[in-house]
Structures are given as structure tokens and as C-alpha cells.
């Protein structure tokens, strides 16, 4: 199945150009399960077969607060489709 997201809908995807790769963020949710007691997880597509191995940050915007808070990415995990995919853009679950 090709992951053609060249016609990205800005209402659905947030695009970020990274060093040597691009990331398309789709959907975020709060995961309250242990062991961390809560994490923010984002489903995204990265235009590499392997996720970036350099530090990534997430900016959290809160109403009435400036500037946004930043947090380091703690994990980038391949989804069940990623290891089998030979596509140029692959899905990953990103955790903060």
C-alpha cells in the first residue's frame, strides 16, 4: 500500500522539516497507562525507513502561557506496518 501524502491536507497533517528527513504529524492522544503514568503519543509519517536518531523536541502550547513548554521525545516506535514497508514514507508512533 503506497503512503502517498504529497497532497497533505493542512487541516489533518502538521508538517515539519527536519535534518535529512521530513515528518508529518497526524493525531495525538494522552496515554495514561503505566509505567510512565502518562505520555503524549503522536501518530506520524516519516520519510525514512528508520526514524531519526537525533534529539527531537515537542512544543506544548497552553492557553494564556507564553512561550510554549518544550519536551524531549522519549521514543519513536515503528508501527505494525513499518517493518514490512518499502515505501519512502513510513508510519511511526512518537512518544513524549
Q: What integer is the mean pLDDT of 78-82?
A: 67
pLDDT(16) > 60:
yes
Q: Is residue 2 in a domain?
A: no
What value does the mean pLDDT of the chain take? 76
CB 38 within 8 A of CB 44: no
DSSP of 4-42: --TT--TTT-EEEEETTEEEEEEEEEEE--TTTT-EEEE
Q: Is residue 53 in a domain?
A: yes
Q: What pLDDT, on a 0 to 100 scale, did the predictor assign at position 90? A: 78
Top-confidence range, 43-57, 58-72, 81-95: 58-72
Q: Is residue 20 in a domain?
A: yes
Q: Please give the residue range of the domain that contains residue 18.
A: 14-95
pTM: 0.69
Q: What pLDDT, on a 0 to 100 scale, did the predictor assign at position 87? A: 60
Q: How many domains does the chain have?
A: 1
Q: Is residue 81 in a domain?
A: yes
pLDDT(5) > 80:
no
Q: Is residue 6 in a domain?
A: no
Amino acid at each position: 500500500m503506497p503512503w502517498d501524502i504529497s497532497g497533505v491536507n493542512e487541516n489533518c497533517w502538521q508538517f515539519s522539516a527536519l535534518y535529512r528527513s521530513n515528518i508529518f504529524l497526524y493525531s495525538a492522544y494522552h496515554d495514561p497507562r503505566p509505567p510512565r503514568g502518562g505520555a503524549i503519543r503522536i501518530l506520524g509519517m516519516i520519510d525514512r525507513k528508520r526514524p531519526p536518531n537525533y534529539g527531537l523536541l515537542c512544543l506544548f502550547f497552553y492557553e494564556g502561557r507564553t512561550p510554549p513548554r518544550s519536551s524531549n521525545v522519549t521514543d519513536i516506535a515503528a508501527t505494525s506496518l513499518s517493518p514490512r514497508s518499502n515505501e519512502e514514507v513510513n508510519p511511526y508512533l512518537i512518544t513524549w
